[in-house]
Amino acid sequence: MSELKVFSIKKNIYEDNKKVAEETRGFLRDKGAFMVNVMSSPGSGKTTTLVSTVKALQGEMRIGVIEADVDSDVDARTVQEAGARAVQMHTDGLCHIDATMARAGVDALEVSDLDLVFLENIGNLICPVGYDTGAMKNIAILSVPEGDDKPLKYPMIFAKVDALLISKMDVMPYFDFDMEALKERVYHLNQDIEIFPLSAKTGEGMDAWTSWLKKQMGRK
């Protein structure tokens, strides 16, 4: 019996993804648009945080949102009602967005007259972080009810993102959430990360978050 051939396609997949991602970043720069990839677990408050961000920046920026979900268009309609241009991307069960899918969203959104684009990734703390989407910055959202131990369980996402938003700070009194322990765990994984505790409901922390965002875009 001949020896079984074993081969890997992982390298080529990631090389192709990187190529598309770089092309997308170049395209966005040429159009004057800045894309942010938003990742988190389901129910962390991604859409609510984006709605508050859109409202906070209204009048300053033209904003678009690419909503990725397995099904439904409820999130896209929600951010559209808040004042952003939105498109809904259905992934048919896939647990992440890669560069090719993100580029399809960028093209569907028609970004030529937009300043800022958010890509709301699939609710998942594992799969999305493995793919470069072509975004200029990557952020994660962790809600207070999820607990301060998530960096111990899912270290890769906290190690790779540029900023971490701690959402639902308004319910902090009702949960056993140790902010200092959370920060220590995150900084151990990523010394350069920025952490923004905030509440989309009360507005707490939104100014610090949007100021950081504008700084990344080269705006005051």
> In this structure, how many other beta carbons lie within 10 angstroms of the beta carbon of residue 114?
22
- Local confidence pLDDT in tens for the 220 residues of the chain: 555 544 444 455 667 899 999 999 999 999 999 999 999 999 999 999 999 999 999 999 999 999 887 666 788 889 899 999 999 888 777 788 899 999 999 999 999 999 999 999 999 999 999 999 999 999 999 999 999 999 999 999 999 999 999 999 999 999 999 999 999 999 999 999 999 999 999 999 999 999 999 999 998 6
User: Which amino acid, 177?
Assistant: F
**Three-class DSSP category at 167:** strand
Max Cα separation, the chain?
71
pLDDT given for residue 75 in this prediction: 82
**165 in Cβ contact with 140 (< 8 Å):** yes
- For residues 68 and 113, give the distance between their C-alpha atoms in angstroms, rounded to a whole number: 21
- For residues 63 and 217, give the distance between their C-alpha atoms in angstroms, rounded to a whole number: 13
Tokens of 48: 């609510």
- For residues 12 and 178, give the distance between their C-alpha atoms in angstroms, rounded to a whole number: 42
Give the residue ranges of DSSP H helices in 58-178: 74-81, 99-109, 150-153, 155-160
- For residues 14 and 109, give the distance between their C-alpha atoms in angstroms, rounded to a whole number: 25
**Three-class DSSP category at 33:** coil
pLDDT given for residue 7 in this prediction: 43
pTM given for the model: 0.92
Q: Which domains does the chain have, with CATH numbers?
A: 11-215 (3.40.50.300)
pLDDT given for residue 99 in this prediction: 94
**What are the φ/ψ torsions at residue 154 (nearest 5 degrees)?**
-130, 65
- For residues 101 and 4, give the distance between their C-alpha atoms in angstroms, rounded to a whole number: 34
pLDDT given for residue 9 in this prediction: 42
Strands (E) in 17-113, as ranges, are: 34-40, 63-69, 85-90
pLDDT given for residue 111 in this prediction: 96
> In this structure, how many other beta carbons lie within 10 angstroms of the beta carbon of residue 96?
18
pLDDT given for residue 76 in this prediction: 84
